[in-house]
Amino acid sequence: MLIADLLPPPVAAWESFQDHPEFVPHPAEAVSLRSSAPGRRREFTNGRYCAHRALQRLGTPAAPIPAGERGAPGWPPSVVGSITHCRGYTAAAVARRGEILALGIDAEPHLPLDADVLEFVAGPEERALVAELLARRPEVRWDRLLFSAKESVYKAWFPATGLFLGFLQARVRFDPSAGTFHADVPAAVRAGARPPGGTRLPTRLTGRWQVSDGVLVTAVAVQAAEADTTPAAAPAASASPEGERE
């Protein structure tokens, strides 16, 4: 399984390479589909199908997964998780809150990223790194990988902190031979992340990636032992850096 290989044992995952038109989302889930186009309905349905299979695999009681804050899935309170879909591939990953603090997964077609998108999501250092890796290891689309890594970081970050994280606010670096990446989130961005005085994510989030059958998948899982226990810094005056757009 593509996604499970990237995640630690407490995580239960489910992936699918086909559509699931037979699956009927719970009414509490379907409410967010009211005026959606067929393509969006299909991807949402596929995502919820995988999410319920993953919850089943984790051994938690069946429960609806409505769309939550800012589009994040509304998992049962005891669960953290993430959903991704791209053409021909859907996956969901879940874990018991407490064992895993934050979880984010992302799938993308293994194709070049538009230059203007790269410009938008990567800082100068990251663009230089991508150019160097594309020249040295052209078998991997490092531009697309950078984008996907940031999406996984965001999907782990937002539900855990309640804070938006802009593309230029996290700095990603790869370890090409290990199949891993690191994302550093500056202290100023992390200040004020909820819950106050409670568990906080570490400064550095670590992820893994894999390419198979034209699909590139990234995953970030923050384990309980990685919680940041240092005293919280004062909240930043502004969480949006220069040039950042939502």
Ligand X SMILES: CC(C)(COP(=O)(O)OP(=O)(O)OC[C@H]1O[C@@H](n2cnc3c(N)ncnc32)[C@H](O)[C@@H]1OP(=O)(O)O)[C@@H](O)C(=O)NCCC(=O)NCCS
State the residues that interact with ligand X by CB under 6 A.
43-44, 47, 70-73, 83-85, 106, 150-151, 153-155, 158-159, 165-167, 170
We find the least distance from the C-beta atom of residue 123 to ligand X, in angstroms, to be 11
Of the chain, the end-to-end C-alpha distance in Å amounts to 33
Q: Which of 195, 198, 209, 204 is nearest to 222 (CA)?
A: 204
User: Which CB atom, from 155 or from 200, has the smaller least distance to ligand X?
Assistant: 155
Q: What are phi and psi of 94, to 5 degrees?
A: -140, 155
User: Which CB atom, from 18 or from 177, has the smaller least distance to ligand X?
Assistant: 18
We find the least distance from the C-beta atom of residue 237 to ligand X, in angstroms, to be 20
Q: Are 124 and 90 in contact (CB under 8 A)?
A: no
Give the residue closest to ligand X by C-beta: 71
We find the least distance from the C-beta atom of residue 159 to ligand X, in angstroms, to be 5
We find the least distance from the C-beta atom of residue 197 to ligand X, in angstroms, to be 23
Alpha helices, DSSP H, located in 67-123: 115-121
User: Which CB atom, from 32 or from 60, has the smaller least distance to ligand X?
Assistant: 32
d(CA 1, CA 233): 40
Pairing state between β 12-16 and 171-175: unpaired
Q: Which of 221, 220, 189, 192 is nearest to 203 (CA)?
A: 189
| DSSP reduced 3-state for 157 | helix
We find the least distance from the C-beta atom of residue 86 to ligand X, in angstroms, to be 6
User: Which CB atom, from 136 or from 214, has the smaller least distance to ligand X?
Assistant: 214
User: Which CB atom, from 3 or from 170, has the smaller least distance to ligand X?
Assistant: 170
